[in-house]
Structure 1
């Protein structure tokens, strides 16, 4: 960013192919809530410009793992972890790295849409910039709002009512607004925790289209219980499982077509074919 008088000039919003999506690597991640161990030595590479789907039954640690990837796990008072999370080779948990820096580069979209309900659509998109203390001219702000809403597949639906409250949108539109808000701070990785679980089929299809369109410019990691969705949107899958009270771990991971077509572990085959979970 460059300063002109009292205004900070934003760098250009990335265009497809010009962004710098990052490879994210988890190395030997174990996690606890108090004395309860929920993940055991989980390692996974999530390549740049790819969609990685985390699949597995409820309670096997997928969402905990996702929150570890942008340092949200440590917000829980009883939480602890071991291992490393590398963003292009740099550990986001290193003492010298600020938590805010990690979260700017690794955004999160939650299961339930969470726009600021009384804030306008326009201001919702810019909320992350305000929290980071970034100022911009009105023209820059307006251009950023249009760019991010377009990338989230929402611009045509809301361009004539940008000053209306974000809480007045439908559930699917609110989720896409949250995606636009995440994109406004220009993350290199976007984490999604069951982003379609509360949406109707039409809204789900639009979110999936948005994921496909974004994958060239931001690395995406998505938790989903919908096996058809995992097949549609992801390039690779990781199957998590926690058996008989043991901590969650990754049974196997690999290209999506292999995981669904010819997995190496019978437990994976049973899960993706609906025999349990």
Structure 2
């Protein structure tokens, strides 16, 4: 049972840096990542790019301890949030996931639950208590930060499942923000959305980066160039485990990459 906590105001600029050091991962005997090291700076967007099957989503799930939900999964290395190893035996899984939230590829609001209750769902899971007035303010704050408040403020008691796909994705972002994460992980959050909804999500990502460290997996090179400040190119060649070919400033990665494989990928010549 998670200990009950009282919701308190948190500064809007509360992001923390996330670091992976020599992370390797397996599913059973199959090695899918090999010694991946990456720094994801606070208050920046880090994009993970690369062909399908190179371990980007696996790496993303390792960053908030979802990898260990798979019975055959194992890993080596460290993931540190502000210098603290989130896999240390003294760190509870629920605490790690509260600090490092996740938004999935397919929007997953609770369809029969109201928009209002969807935003607050994470508080129940973490045992966080808050009086009604604070809850009301939190719902407005999180929906505003997710770019959804003006669209839904007059129908907060309607089901979250009645929203459009793009609105549902922003609702999921608002739900993640309600537990005050330091980091927000996004696994291809726009892949199922139309161009208008994609643009709104990208605007939301840019605004959120002022307060939350963001790591996003995307196959859209234009999107990676638009929203991120840092970029890491993953690759798995000829059956070898996924690894990082190159990582650095997004402008350099797209404009003057060091490795020719990076240049070929970002320019659409393979993958």
TM-based fold match above 0.5: yes
SS at match of 2:105: coil
CA contact (8 A) 1:9 1:137 kept: no
Deviations along 1:218-238, whole A, 9 cap, x unmatched? 000000000000000000100
Instruction: Provide the alpha-carbon RMSD of the alignment.
Output: 1.0
Note the 1:115-154 alignment, pairs <5 A. 115-154=109-148
Counterpart selection for 1:38 from 24, 27, 32: 32
Residues 42-64 of structure 1: per-residue CA shift (max 9 Å, x gap): 00000001000000000000000
- Offset, 1:9: 4.5
Question: Match for residue 3 of structure 1?
Answer: none
CA contact (8 A) 1:128 1:182 kept: yes
For the structure 1 residues 109 and 79, does the alpha-carbon distance in structure 2 shift closer, same or farther, using more than 3 Å as the test?
Answer: same
Paired residues, number:
268
Q: Deviations over 1:192-244 (max 9, x none)?
A: 00000000000000000000001010000000000000000000100000000
Distance 2:151 2:203 in 1: 15
> Out of 148, 166, 175, which is 1:172 matched to?
166
In structure 1, the residue matched to 2:65 is: 71
- The residue aligned with 1:263 is 257
Matches within 5 A, 1:1-277: 9-15=6-12, 19-277=13-271
Preserved contact between residue 13 and residue 147 of structure 1 (Cα < 8 Å): no
What SS class does the counterpart of residue 257 from structure 1 fall into? Answer: helix
Kindly state the Cα deviation for residue 14 of structure 1 after the two structures are TM-superposed.
3.5
SS in 1 for 2:128: coil
| 8 Å contact kept, 1:107–1:191 | yes
Deviation of the 1:20 alpha carbon? 1.7
Give 1:136 deviation, angstroms. 1.2
- Give TM-score scaled by structure 2 length: 0.98
**Structure 2 CA distance, aligned partners of 1:95 and 1:133?**
21
- In structure 2, the gaps of 5 or more residues are none
Partner SS state of residue 190, structure 1: strand
Q: Secondary structure at the match of 1:53?
A: strand
Q: C-alpha offsets along residues 108-163 of structure 1, whole Å, 9 cap, x if unaligned?
A: 00000000000000000000001111121111100000000000000000000000
- In structure 1, list runs of 5 or more residues that go unmatched: 1-6
The Cα of 1:12 is off from its aligned counterpart by 1.3
Alignment TM-score, normalising by the size of structure 1: 0.95
The answer to whether the 8 A contact 1:104-1:185 is kept is: yes
Runs (4+) of structure 1 exceeding 4 A deviation are none
* CA distance in structure 2 between the partners assigned to 1:8 and 1:134 by the alignment: 4
